[in-house]
Structure 1
Amino acid sequence: MTRFVLLEPVYESHYNPIAHLESVLKTIITCFLNPSQRARIGPMPGTPDHVLGEDCPELVYVRRAIFAHDGPAFFKAVTDINTILRDIKYPWPPDTLGNPLKQVVSSWTKTGIPDAVLFQVLDETRQRSVGHSAAQLSEAKPWSDKVYGELLPPLVHDLGSGIGNVVVQASLQAGCRAYGIELDATRARIAKEMVTNLRTRCLLWGLKIGDIELEEGDMLQSARVTELIPLADVVLINNEIFSSQLNENLRLKLVHLKEGAIVISLECFRASCFSKRNAWLVLLRGGLSLIHFQPSDTSRIFDVECILYPSDSVSWTNSRGGYFIHYTNRTALRRSRPRGSRVGR
């Protein structure tokens, strides 16, 4: 059970427990209840559109109380909804099929977790892990190999995993085994809190996650990174402003990837790729969403695509930009090598 302290934040950007409570109720109603169950909560007829809203009319009592700053009405509305949800979750006489809300989660096996539930759980996890350390995260030296920045949820082995956003999302959304390494001690500590809080949130929401492994250390020196690179299916590297030397050192590690493995990065690891700025210009001017780089340098093992991401996808800018998907493909490299030579050494 989650308890909400109903305080109003001083600043609009701060955590708002009332808005969070409304968001939780909306997610439960829209994603966990069937039409007949939603009808038990029901909207209030004749409520103005600016109070009712069109996305989740079942919350009209709650929204009307919030809009009117009516505390008693708010408590009554939430209590009434909780009573209905409790009756649905624990029917009487007891349902031999068990908790119907858990059955809804089981039905997502083929379709995946709904985006609303995914983002709700990730947001709750982040609020409980990052809020009290937000000031420390801004202390990172800008425009350096140790700079801090996060890929936001809609964009998703994370090298330079920061506070663990991508690691926890991959584990939750795909159910995969996820590993992340972060050099900065503060970010590494927050990442571990993220994992702990994610496990708690998943228990509350009835969700399962994959195995998560986090490490505080240097990705170039880590024995664990060296061990996992050949096993990885997907490697993510936020190397937006890494130095050329660091990117080259990382590229040398990536040559040990298995065939078919994918590397996603914000800078290209192929020496033959033209600059990302030029790639963006081609994407923007031509209205394209995809550019394919044919392998032309025999010292490289990647086929590379540059894809345009929309605005508000990363934490350091509201502008759109591009990222690179590298597909490990040694076919062309093998064809270009003299007979008898060995590939991958």
Structure 2
Amino acid sequence: MTTIDSSKTEDRSHLLVEKDQNKQTVTLPPKKVMASKLAAAAAAAKAAQAAAAEAEAAQAAQAQSQPVVETEKKSGESTKTDVSSTKRRLSSSVENPREKKISREKAPIVKPGKSITHSDRIVQAEISQYRPYFTETDADSPGQSAPTTKEKNLRVVLEYPGSIEPENFLLLKPVLKNTTGRSNEEEEEDKDEYNPITDLMRTCEFIYDCYLLPGEQQKLLGNQSHGIMRNLTKYRNRRSSAGFSQAVKDFNKVMRRLKAEGVISKNAKAMCHPNYDLACHILFQVYSRTVARQSDALNNYQAFSNNVYGEINPILVKDFISKTGVNSKSVFMDLGCGIGNVVLQVAAQTGCEAYGIEIMETPCKFAKRQLKEYAARMKAWRLPTGKIHFRHGDFLDVAANDLYATLKRSDVLLVNNYAFDAATNQALAQLFLDLKEGTRIISLKSFVPKHHKINQRTLNMPESILRVEEFEYYSEAVSWTNNGGHYYIATVDRGRLAPYFEEMYGH
């Protein structure tokens, strides 16, 4: 708020009084002439007032969408005025001439909130690898002319459950590089690249399945046999640009209605957290818009070192959540989090407080980039994000990274130690001595040797406080192999040492 110095106002009024006193006297005209001039002036003022009223009405209609603020008149009444005009009046009361100049030349800027990265930006960045998809006219309209360039490069917007802006989709198909230059029919689709049409269709399906209750609500969109949902599939398959575009518009219309009636908000609140499939779709959207185009940079590591990069796939993370019982009150930590996929998935599915620390700069940069997009995406889906933090640093030096206090209150730790050497695993085991009772540690290699036994010689070793369970995972659970394997969950259980201490020291 701008504060106006009352003393300066009094000084200016004093100067104005002196100026009035120094004015020269002017002889007034005769009364009849004065009367006629007054009448003419009154008529002109009335006409000006009518014109001003019309202009004010037009301006008010135009300014309905602009933000308004409450200001007080001298009489104490409250009136709504435009933000920009309020700022101009306030700035004109300040004596600083530089501020006056800025207020006249530069309109106030309203900073936008968090926004998603739109699909069309991703496609546009790699436009040379994309080709038109909608190339056929509508079979239901045989007299329709051939599709135009605009129809072939179809742009649509899709309404999301949240209050964030609709997402823009440029509906092209990705093609293999070695087929570019051929005719559109001969170019083979690249199944490994981002496909905006598939993204849009799956988004519509998840909104239908997760945000609308069976019965009257889903009936508004139909199903795969009739209605809007059927039209999306039908016109996609027929490659009808006009039909598909209209189906998306119809979908948006229903969504806006349900959002206005509060149905979507109520259903999202009841859902609380996304199920596994929806969480995977949201994280796919995040990854495709932040990491996918630069994923080759993740391969820049020293072979056979502790920094070898590998990802744990979502299906195995789902198993971790189920086996450890992570919930909204839990604290989860990923030591060596890479690009943060596991941290984001656990937080999305459970709403827990989640931390990740990564020593390599590039993966950590991607993790923070994903977190920013994740926050905007979850807002678009009207879902809670959970409390998520990423740190760049060495997980063996948690004190330097301000994570030591968090480590001690963690409920679940994940350590992808598949490629770690023995020294690193031993150093990690020393950290576990500070964990609270009951903390669970997930690892790809066991921290406790298979034939480890508790005795007087091993009582003080960190391995002795860990009770280990072994589980099996299957193909496609991790990125570095298609084969299955095993993972381990160790639980901090100091109670198992009590009999040995009693034997040594008595009660």
Aligned CA-pair RMSD: 2.1
1:1-345 equivalent positions in 2, closer than 5 A: 1-10=166-175, 11-34=190-213, 35-43=215-223, 45=225, 59-91=229-261, 99-109=262-272, 112-156=273-317, 157-223=333-399, 224-271=402-449, 273=450, 298=459, 299=461, 300-337=464-501, 339-340=504-505
Mind listing any 5+ residue stretches in structure 1 that lack a counterpart? 48-56, 92-98, 275-292
Q: Is the 8 A contact 2:471 2:487 kept in 1?
A: yes
Q: Report the Cα distance in structure 2 between the residues aligned to 1:221 and 1:322, rounded to whole angstroms.
A: 28
Give the whole-Å Cα distance in 2 for the aligned partners of 1:311 and 1:104. Answer: 35
Secondary structure of the 1:240 match is coil
Q: Deviations over 1:52-80 (max 9, x none)?
A: xxxxx963211222222221111111111
- Does structure 2 retain, via aligned residues, the 8 Å contact 1:295–1:332? no
CA pair 44-132 structure 1, distance change in 2 beyond 3 A: closer
TM-score (normalizing by structure 2) = 0.57
Number of aligned positions between the proteins: 303
Tell me the distance in 2 between the aligned counterparts of 1:138 and 1:197.
23
Q: Could you say if the C-alpha distance between residues 175 and 44 of structure 1 is closer, same or farther in structure 2, counting changes exceeding 3 Å? A: closer
CA–CA distance in 1 between the matches of 2:404 and 2:497?
Answer: 23
Structure 1 stretches of at least 4 aligned residues deviating more than 4 Å after TM superposition: 293-297, 338-341
Measure how far apart 1:121 and its partner are.
Answer: 1.4
Report the counterpart of residue 277 of structure 1 in structure 2.
Answer: none
The alignment partner of 1:196 has SS state of helix
Using CA pairs below 8 Å that are at least 6 residues apart, which structure has the higher relative contact order?
1
SS at match of 1:125: helix
Distance 1:123 1:244, change over 3 A: same
Separation in 1 of the partners of 2:453 and 2:294? Answer: 44
Q: CA deviation at 1:108?
A: 2.3
Provide the rounded CA distance (Å) in 2 between the counterparts of 1:181 and 1:332: 31
TM (normalized to structure 1)? 0.82
Distance 1:162 1:100, change over 3 A: same
- In structure 2, distance between residues paired with 1:328 and 1:239: 18
Q: Give structure 2 stretches of 5+ with no counterpart.
A: 1-165, 176-189, 318-332
Give the Cα separation in 1 of the matches to 2:167 and 2:422.
47
Identity %: 31
Task: Read off the aligned partner of 1:216 and give its amino acid letter.
Answer: H
Whichever residue aligns with residue 148 of structure 1, its letter is Y
Shift of 1:229: 2.0
